Structures are given as C-alpha cells and as structure tokens.
Structure 1
C-alpha cells in the first residue's frame, strides 16, 4: 500500500494492515471505509474484509480530518463542501456527516463521521487495444459509456496519456483536460498525480461547462477531454468547443446504447452525430470489459476487443498477445 495512505490512517489500523496483508494481497484494494463507532472495512475488487479488532473512534475521525486538511480545515472548505478531498498521490477521501445549509446551498460538512479512502491507481495500456478503432492519425470524437466501476475513468486517463504522448496510430496532440472532480489527473495543489501525458494541461476542481470554454479560449488544445458529461450546460459547452475545431473524448454514465439514447440532455449530441465512436463498457467480468463499439450512426463495429479485461484489471500478469509495434512518435 502507498505510504501516503498509511500515514493518514490511525496508527493502530495502519499496524494491523501492515501485519495482516502483504503488498501482493493489497494490489486490488479499492477502498478503505471508516465509520465512527464501527469496524474498519476494506473493499477489494471482488471481496471485502472487516477489521474486527479495530473500531474507528470519534477522536480518530478528528485526527484524520486534521491530517488530510493539513491542520487547517478552512483551507479545504470548498473541497469539504463537495464531499471529498484529494490527497498527495491522487488518492481521494470522501466524507459524510452533518451538513450545514445556508440559503438552500451546502455551506459545510460538520461533525464528519464517515470516510471513504479511494485508492488511486493507474493502468497504463488500458486503452491501447481501442486505438485501432478510434484513431487514424488523430483521435476521433469518442464517448465512453458505462456504469460505475466499469473502468471509464481508467480508460479515459490512458487515452488522454496516449493521445498526449503519441503512439503508432496517432500523432501526439495538445490535450486540455477538464477534471471537475479531480479523478482523472488527481491533481494535488494543482499538480497532476497521475501521468496524463507530456502535452496535457489540466483544469481541476472546475465545473465542466465553464472549464471547457476556459481551456478552449486559453490553451488552444487539439483535443478536449472531460469526464462524466450529462448536464445541459455540459452539452452546450461541448458542442461549442467542437465547433472551434477541437477533437473530444468524454465519458458518460450508462449501461447501454439504448440507455444513452433515452437521456434527453444528450439528444443534441446524438442528433448532430457529434461522436464518431461510442464505446460501451461493463464492470463484468472485470472493469474495462468492452460490450461493443459503435459508429456515429449507432452501427455496431465490433464486440471483440481483445485484452481489455486484463488491461484494466489489477493482475500482475500481462496476458496481452497482440503485437502493437513500437511508438513512432516521441
């Protein structure tokens, strides 16, 4: 486990984890959940582990909040209002507790009683077998569709990195990433903690609609990337950006193409055939499983994209058998 996480955990819990688990056993750890008055819960990809001998106490919660805010809760007031904090290493800590409301808006989260420590992880190569389907020298406008834990963010991050650096089928491009929830680049103090490529500029913790327009105006990107579009204002900004000539790669919550078509806010994107490629993902049997790839007319191109499951999975074993050649771009 990343030492950056261990230093935030209560000492007793950190010691238990270090003694009970080795590094190989922790490779597919996804979350650590801490609730005042209850035992710690560790969530792995396909199982959970309750730490019966440790109970998270109120004083532990107070200490943890002080650590993640660097002993200045006011410094992170905006992040706390959003319900999560990003720490060094790109790990994200969700919080819940009593909410203070003013004029119908969340002012602060007080008396924090639950923490969800989400373990950040990169899967370089997770998107490489999609490239032949979505890139011909330059990236096609692409939309990733999938439910929670289907690997959307992991694949989107790897696409951004690949487009930024260049690969066999795609030239290197300037990428503007609008990372509203700091999940893709996982910026800490403005610096990405994940590798999103050498030509990528990141706008984090900024609403998507405003961020897209800011990046198009100020950073002259060739590719615009954004996670979890869905609101009407997101769609308006996305269409404006496309009309400036940039390529786009985005993700959206959904279970199928039919699910996507039922989303009223997305109809302008669908009707104008903005996306050249739609990629539908599933969390089963593992995150990153490709159900199908479709063109702008919703014609299915393929259901057989090899190695995607293993690429996004957390196995140490590389079961990739497709030769992708050497990068010709640097």
Structure 2
C-alpha cells in the first residue's frame, strides 16, 4: 500500500526536525519545501509563504537525513547525485549541494553535503481542465508550449495534460504519450516507477537527457504525443523540431514571464516565426499553483484568460 505524503516525508527526516514539523501541526498537503542548511535555521515553504524556525541545522542532522534518503546506501544513487538531486518514494525531489568531487571537468560525486532541499510533490488533478478546449483545433491536439516563471505550476499543468491525454477525456480519445523526464519531476519516478498519475497509455524515460530521450522515444515507442519539461538548450530545440516533423504532437514547457519574452529569445525565435507551436499557455504568480494568465494561438491572439 502506498504511504501517505506525511509519512513519505517524515521517514526521511532526522528525528529533531521531524519533531519540529509535527509539533507545529503542519498540513503536509500544503507543505511545498523543506530546506536544511548546515548551521542555518530550519526553513519551510508553506502555502506560498516562508516559515523560519529557531532550530539550527547540524552536520549530524544532515548526515542522518541523507542516510534515510539513500536507505543507508548513497553509493547506489551515485548517478542521480551527479545531477544534484535524488527522487524518493512519493515522487518528492531532494536537491543537494556542497563540495563536489570533480573528474575531467564533470561532477563525479559529492564529498560533503551542506544543504538539502526537499521539494514536496503535489498533483492537482483537473488543473488543466480550463485550457483543454483551447488546445484543440478541429478536434486535434495542438503543439503546445507552457510558459511560466519557476514555481508557478508549469510542470503541474503539463502533468495533468499528460494524464488527461493518455486516459482520454470529453474532448479526445486516449492517446499514446511519451514522457522524457530528465529531472524526475513529471512522473516523479522512484525505482523506475512513476509515483504521480500520468495516465494508462503513457511511457516514460526517467532521468534521461531530453534531446537524446526524445529520439529514443520516437524510435522505440511510437508516441502520438511527446511531453518534455523545461526545454532550454539548442539540442532540446532541435529535437523538438525533429519530433514535430515526425508527426508527433509536442507538449513542452519553458521558463518565462510572458509570450513576448519567449518570442524574442534567439533560441525560440524560429518557433515563433515558423508557427511551430499552435498554442501558448502562460501561467503566472497569483498566489496559487497554475494561475492562468492567458492562452494564445500561433499569431499571438488571446483565446482565453
């Protein structure tokens, strides 16, 4: 049986930290982030606001927490740690920083860990309902880009779109979806199994570079729809264009504050000029995850807000 979110989080925290959270009666469904920095106060992000506790994080508490996170075998997670994060049961992402061990210009591993950031995974089922009528044209799903600043819900929106497309909804029949999840945030995979609900017709490549993963998905799984989070390199952009030319419908997210900002960026300018994406969903910070600023077509016309 899958453990509740509260248990998933508490079981990886050092005893003193666990006690502080319990004694303050926090609702773990509203908890967004827990930061542990050696010698600094315990920090929690809760319902969009900061909470600082007087307790200072010790080296021993960081060590104890990392032992729980790695199930006393951190060497087994060496590949993930090179990227600066681990994913634990429930799909919660644990970011780490400190002193690294370099090797030929790359990160081999961490020598000392001085900070841990636990980002609590949240699914908001149905958050994509409002945009679905807008991302279809003549009954067909459009190439869609989701734009938002960090922490404003683009991955949450993408995840719910993937789930609904995969399972089918009132607007379209279920379709085969391929997800390339480089940062383990869409599916929140733990030991290769998605912890988030991403649909019954979805295949996922976890912890895989986006550009390479998109090519692998097209060759091996023949997806009708391909979803990727946070495209941001020339290789990502080229792979997205290739996928579109292969007849795959693309769902992608990018960091940005507006459609105007994205269409002026040199990396994405040819998307706009070539009208590659037919829909742009813009999210913004309005006090809750996934606050819709607007949905635009390929000409920049506002369809809904």
What is the TM-score normalised by the length of structure 1? Answer: 0.88
1:299-310 equivalences under 5 Å are 299-303=301-305
Unpaired stretches in structure 1, ≥5 consecutive residues: 304-330
Q: Does 1:12 align with 2:16?
A: yes
SS of the equivalent of 2:162 reads: helix
Counterpart of 2:209 in structure 1 is: 207
- Distance in structure 2 (CA, Å) of the matches to 1:102 and 1:22: 42
> CA contact under 8 A between 1:138 and 1:171: conserved in structure 2?
no
Counterpart of 1:74 in structure 2 is: 75
Counterpart of 1:167 in structure 2 is: 169
SS of the equivalent of 2:123 reads: coil
SS of the equivalent of 1:229 reads: coil
Post-superposition CA distance 1:146-189 (Å, at most 9, x none): 11111101100000000000011111100000000000100011
- Distance in structure 1 (CA, Å) of the matches to 2:20 and 2:299: 54
Post-superposition CA distance 1:212-257 (Å, at most 9, x none): 0000110011100000112111111111111111111111111111
Structure 1 window deviating more from structure 2 (280-289 vs 173-182): it is: 280-289
SS of the equivalent of 1:265 reads: coil
Counterpart of 2:297 in structure 1 is: 295
Structure 1 window deviating more from structure 2 (199-208 vs 235-244): it is: 235-244
- Distance in structure 1 (CA, Å) of the matches to 2:96 and 2:26: 27
SS of the equivalent of 1:220 reads: coil
**Which residue of 146, 151, 160 corresponds with 1:144?**
146
> CA contact under 8 A between 1:143 and 1:277: conserved in structure 2?
yes
State the superposition RMSD in angstroms.
1.3
**Which residue of 27, 37, 40 corresponds with 2:39?**
37
Deviation of the 1:22 alpha carbon = 4.7
Deviation of the 1:286 alpha carbon = 2.5
**Which residue of 247, 250, 253 corresponds with 1:248?**
250
> CA contact under 8 A between 2:131 and 2:295: conserved in structure 1?
no
- Distance in structure 2 (CA, Å) of the matches to 1:49 and 1:238: 40
Counterpart of 1:156 in structure 2 is: 158
1:232-271 equivalences under 5 Å are 232-271=234-273
Counterpart of 1:314 in structure 2 is: none
> CA contact under 8 A between 1:145 and 1:279: conserved in structure 2?
yes
1:127-138 equivalences under 5 Å are 127-136=128-137, 137-138=139-140
What is the TM-score normalised by the length of structure 2? Answer: 0.95
- Distance in structure 2 (CA, Å) of the matches to 1:118 and 1:177: 21
Moved over 3 A (4+): none
> CA contact under 8 A between 1:139 and 1:163: conserved in structure 2?
no
Post-superposition CA distance 1:32-54 (Å, at most 9, x none): 111112221111133222222x3
- Distance in structure 2 (CA, Å) of the matches to 1:46 and 1:64: 24
- Distance in structure 1 (CA, Å) of the matches to 2:119 and 2:86: 10
- Distance in structure 2 (CA, Å) of the matches to 1:199 and 1:84: 28
Counterpart of 2:87 in structure 1 is: 86
SS of the equivalent of 1:37 reads: coil
Counterpart of 1:280 in structure 2 is: 282
Q: Does 1:3 align with 2:4?
A: no
SS of the equivalent of 2:146 reads: strand
Aligned length: 300
